[in-house]
Amino acid sequence: MNEIHILGKYPMYGELEVQGSKNAVLPLMAASLLHRGVTTLEHVPDITDVGCMVRILESLGAVVVREKSRMTIDASCISFCEIPLEEVCKMRSSIMVLGPLIARMRRAVTYYPGGCSIGRRPVDYHIRLLRELGIKILEEDGRIEAVAENYCGTVITLDFPSVGATENAILAATGAKGETVICGCAREPEIVELCAFLQAMGIETVGAGTDRIRVWGQISKRDPHVRIHGDRIAAGTYLAAAAVAGGEITLTGAPVTSMKATLQALCGCGCLIQTEGDHIHMKAPRHLRTIPYLETTVYPGFPTDMQSILLAVQCCGAGEGRMQETIFEGRFETAAQFNKMGARISVESALPGCEGCISAAGCDGMGYIARIQAGEGLHGAHVTATDLRGGAALVVAGLGAMGETIVHQCHHIDRGYEDMVGNLQKLGARIHRITGT
């Protein structure tokens, strides 16, 4: 049993420090494999995806020590280059280890990665970029083997600004002789954070945060020591929670500049938001508004990771709206769970060729526009998390619903949120967790 019980409509008040960013820490942990010494990371979130990456690094020979939110990774002796299948199945970010491992060891073996069930999520961009760098890739029965002797920097191009493929290409390029130019890059803040970290290791990069990044330089002997930025998605989730429950909260350590699209959306729902430095102060409106149209897109647009969470907010508003998902075709699975709580969402339209994805929203997995019809607001129900952000969104919906909501399968939430229940309790939410057999 792994359930979260929520009594909705209790306003939240108080201050919360935003956890370190999941999507920033995972590539940094992978990048630590490049350094033949000790890397120190501060403000590392206590989430299960980090635990998974720790096990991957340890299986390769690294020594990882964690003391509260500080983590040291001693990668002086890396003796293996095969990532264990059981960890690969749990987390898509395991693919991030491919780039640094090939750069350092000249050989790396992994498998097609797992992760959330939000769509097909292939790794073809990663593989194509590595091949363009001159790395030989052998694929057989889900196993991916990368082999390279010496490879030289060149110009490589992404067809779509994939975050993970951009990061993997940057990491692999650190092992190339000379300069690599990566075109069509993703511009997410986590890429800027990765490049700043590589800088601390002696690798030069120019252009992080734009669609063209140059990488050159050599790993120095200097031990890097960096602090992980606040998690923009976790921050947005707590703001959404207070928006639907009511009340007034302040977040500290928030990455305000990278949250513009999320803050704009919450303002569109009627929330009053003030920012100062890394503080966000939000007052929930008496009555939430539904935004007529919202579309997920690549950074700096509205993030796909906030989609289900904003959908929960939309369901608590008065009025009709549409949300379009343009990144992951399976993200609307949670819509069917919201409907159990009294929401009136229909998922429409089609993405050609996404037959593999099965949506519970009644669209055979082909839908990518959610139409939210005006309803009576949400009521408590038994609902089931099927992915990380969808699970968090169900908690948000429960906080805005009348009566009791029970969220099942909440281990998904632990992949990206550090003590979500404890944090919400601190803010006054009526929420508790039941674990056991």
- For the annotated catalytic residues, the residue numbers are 116
User: Smallest gap, in angstroms, from Cβ of residue 116 to ligand UD1?
Assistant: 8
| CA quadruple 111, 113, 114, 120: dihedral sign | negative
In angstroms, what is the minimal distance from the CB of 169 to ligand UD1?
11
Residues within the interface to ligand UD1 (CB under 6 A): 23, 26, 92-93, 119-126, 160, 162-165, 186, 190, 303-305, 327-328
Q: Which is nearer to ligand UD1, 328 or 338 (CB)?
A: 328
Residues 6+ apart with CB under 8 A from 382: 340, 405, 406, 408
The nearest distance, CB 26 to ligand UD1, in angstroms, is 5
Residue 61 CB, nearest approach to ligand UD1 (Å) = 23
CB of 138 to ligand UD1, least distance (A): 17
Compare residues 249 and 388 and give the one whose CB is closer to ligand UD1. Answer: 388
Q: Give 115 or 380: the residue with its C-beta nearer to ligand UD1.
A: 115
Nearer to ligand UD1, 12 or 163 (CB): 163
Least CB distance to ligand UD1 at residue 188 (A): 6
Nearer Cβ to ligand UD1 (104/121): 121
Q: Which lies closer to ligand UD1 via its Cβ, residue 97 or residue 381?
A: 97
The closest residue (CB) to ligand UD1 is 164
Count CB neighbours of 155 within 10 A.
12
CA distances (Å), 321 to each of 266, 315, 316, 346, 372, in order?
A: 14, 9, 12, 11, 5
Q: Given the complex with ligand UD1, which of 47 and 163 has the nearer CB atom?
A: 163
Minimal distance, residue 252 CB to ligand UD1, in Å = 23
Structure-derived torsion over alpha carbons of residues 142, 147, 152, 154, reported in degrees to the nearest 10: -10
